[in-house]
């Protein structure tokens, strides 16, 4: 089959075999095939979501992290970072401001902070759930025990983001120290699905040592897992990490993968990520035009935003922020896209 036929097959059956994914991904597509893939993916997005873009308010609750991932600026060994943890009251303030502005999903994201106990997470989830019963709570707080995930679920969290980062053992070992394990990451993802969370996963595009074969394995893993949310963005170097001198991931490849993921998962919530917006001034819109249906403006108290430094120059202000919602609306309107304040749960009925 040629690439055009592969795109049609993917749209129709939502899956390809390994060799076919490799064929699609191995080379840059000729521009007519690249544009065809993008158009099919956007048409599918239009069919299920119209021209609506769902918004999620991102609250970066702590930049303390016990892990030492080689790519991430929050890694434990980075001593050039002032660490913070928001109080419950500060988190609730972020939610109040967000709710007032129309947000009906709050994403609590943070490093794996040992001081953030199960009880503390449970408490803040309950507080938010009590004060904003009409809003969804998404957690993005890394790896926990099965019991912890169950407690968070009972407290009112319904969604969880945990990227696999890479499903290839050898590649995983080049991105993470030995103290971390891919096996544990997979255990967490399976538990989240089993507990009935809307589960998000994803990868960085162009992370150091990543091969096309690695990406294909990630797609096949996702096809098995059937995540409700998929977050992908380019790898971006951070100066204070071992990967500070590596090249950033490529825009074209990131957009191509957003489109492929849309055809694989027509109903999934797929964000046009901050990393994509940081890589390229047009990144956010291009991601949406390639098949993303979500943006995640930053609701974190402004003073702390710079300290949540995953990679160099991370966008957190202006259009990328909650106070910039009007700017975001203007930007989206130029592409005939419109913010919806619906809660936007995953649904395939």
Task: DSSP letter for 319, please.
Answer: G
Element (DSSP H or E) covering residue 199: strand 198-201
Q: Which stretch binds ligand 5AD (CB under 6 A): 51-59, 96-104, 230-238, 264-272?
A: 230-238
Residues 147-206 that bind ligand 5AD (CB under 6 A): 163, 165, 204
For position 64 contacting ligand 5AD by CB under 6 A, the verdict is: no
Q: How far apart are the first and last CA of the chain?
A: 32
By CB under 6 A, name the one of 275, 276, 277, 337 that touches ligand 5AD: 275
The Cα 57–Cα 15 span in angstroms is 32
Q: In whole angstroms, what is the distance from residue 142 CA to residue 160 CA?
A: 9
Position 314 contacts ligand 5AD (CB under 6 A): no
Q: Does 283 bind ligand 5AD (CB under 6 A)?
A: no
223/215 Cα distance (integer angstroms): 12
Instruction: To the nearest 10°, report the CA torsion of 11, 14, 17, 20.
Output: 20
**Rounded Cα distance, 179 and 202, in Å:** 21
d(CA 158, CA 26) in angstroms, rounded, equals 37
Query: Whose Cβ is closer to ligand 5AD: residue 104's or residue 176's?
Result: 176
Least distance in angstroms from the C-beta of 311 to ligand 5AD:
4
Q: Does 236 help bind ligand 5AD (rule: CB under 6 A)?
A: yes
- Should residue 308 be labelled a site residue for ligand 5AD when binding is judged by CB under 6 A? no
Segment 237 to 256, residues that bind ligand 5AD, using CB under 6 A: 238
Minimum distance from residue 48 beta carbon to ligand 5AD (Å): 25
Question: Binding marks (x or -) toward ligand 5AD, 67..86, rule CB under 6 A?
Answer: ----xx--------------
Q: Radius of gyration (Cα) for the chain, nearest Å?
A: 19
Residues near ligand 5AD (CB under 6 A): 71-72, 163, 165, 204, 233, 235-236, 238, 275, 310-311
């Amino acid at each position: 089959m040629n690439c055009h036929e592969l795109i049609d097959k993917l749209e129709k059956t939502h899956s390809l075999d390994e060799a076919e994914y490799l064929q699609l991904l191995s080379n840059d597509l000729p521009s007519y095939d690249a544009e065809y893939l993008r158009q099919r993916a956007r048409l599918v997005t239009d069919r299920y979501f119209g021209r609506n873009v769902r918004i999620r308010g991102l609250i970066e609750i702590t930049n303390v992290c016990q892990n030492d991932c080689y790519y991430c600026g929050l890694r434990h060994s980075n001593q050039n970072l002032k660490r913070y943890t928001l109080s419950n009251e500060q988190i609730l303030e972020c939610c109040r401001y967000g709710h007032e502005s129309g947000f009906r999903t709050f994403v609590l994201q943070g490093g794996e902070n040992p001081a953030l106990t199960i009880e503390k997470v449970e408490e803040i989830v309950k507080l938010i759930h009590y004060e904003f019963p009409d809003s969804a709570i998404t957690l993005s707080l890394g790896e926990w025990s099965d019991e912890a995930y169950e407690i968070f679920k009972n407290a009112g969290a319904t969604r969880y983001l945990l990227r696999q980062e890479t499903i290839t053992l050898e590649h995983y070992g080049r991105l993470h120290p030995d103290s971390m394990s891919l096996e544990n990451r997979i255990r967490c993802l399976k538990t989240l699905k089993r507990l009935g969370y809307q589960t998000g996963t994803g990868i960085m595009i162009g992370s150091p040592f990543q091969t096309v074969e690695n990406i294909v394995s990630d797609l096949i893993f996702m096809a098995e897992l059937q995540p409700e949310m998929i977050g992908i963005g380019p790898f971006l170097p951070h100066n204070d990490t071992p990967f500070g001198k590596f090249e950033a991931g490529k825009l074209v490849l990131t957009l191509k993968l957003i489109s492929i993921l849309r055809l694989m998962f027509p109903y999934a919530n797929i964000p046009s990520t901050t990393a994509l917006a940081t890589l390229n001034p047009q990144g956010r819109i291009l991601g949406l035009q390639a098949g993303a249906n979500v943006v995640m403006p930053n609701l974190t108290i402004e003073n702390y935003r710079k300290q949540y430094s995953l990679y160099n120059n991370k966008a957190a202000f202006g259009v990328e922020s909650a106070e910039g919602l009007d700017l975001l609306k203007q930007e989206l309107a130029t592409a005939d896209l419109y913010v919806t304040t619906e809660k936007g749960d995953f649904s395939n009925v």
